[in-house]
Structure 1
Amino acid sequence: MFDIPENMIVYYLRLLKRGPNWTPEETPELEQLQSAHLAYGQKLRAEGKLIINGPLIDNGYLRGCGIFRTASLEEAQALSDADPAVQAGRLVSEVHPWMTFKGIFPD
Structure 2
Amino acid sequence: MKKFILPLLLACFTLLAKAQTPNPNYDEALAKKLGADDYGMKKYVMAFLKTGPTKIEDKAKLAEIQKAHLKNIGKLADEGKLVVAGPFMDGGEVEGIFIFDVRTIEEARALTNTDPAIQAGVLTMELRPFYCSAALKEVAATHKKLAKKNFAD
The answer on whether the counterparts of 2:43 and 2:132 sit within 8 Å (CA) in structure 1 is yes
Question: Which of 1 and 2 has greater Rg?
Answer: 2
The answer on whether the counterparts of 1:12 and 1:67 sit within 8 Å (CA) in structure 2 is yes
- Structural mapping, 1:1-107, within 5 Å: 6-7=38-39, 8-22=41-55, 25=57, 27-106=59-138
Question: 1:90, 1:22 → 2: CA distance?
Answer: 6
TM-score, length of structure 1 as denominator length: 0.84
Q: Percent identity?
A: 38
Number of aligned residue pairs: give it. Answer: 102
The structure that is strand-richer by fraction is 1
Query: CA RMSD, aligned part only?
Result: 1.9
Q: Runs of 5+ in structure 2 lacking a partner?
A: 1-36, 140-153
Query: 1:72 Cα deviation (Å)?
Result: 2.0
Counterpart amino acid of residue 88 in structure 2: L
Query: 1:6 Cα deviation (Å)?
Result: 3.9
TM-score, length of structure 2 as denominator length: 0.60
CA change 1:102–1:28 in 2 (3 A) is closer
Q: Secondary structure at the match of 1:103?
A: helix
Question: 1:102, 1:34 → 2: CA distance?
Answer: 29
The structure that is helix-richer by fraction is 2
Higher relative contact order (CA 8 A, sep 6+): 1
Offset from partner CA, 1:59-88 (integer Å, 9 cap, x none):
110111021001322101110122110110
Q: After TM superposition, what 4+ stretches of structure 1 lie above 2 angstroms from structure 2? A: 5-8, 100-107
Query: 1:26 Cα deviation (Å)?
Result: 6.2
Question: 2:87, 2:133 → 1: CA distance?
Answer: 24
CA change 1:39–1:10 in 2 (3 A) is same
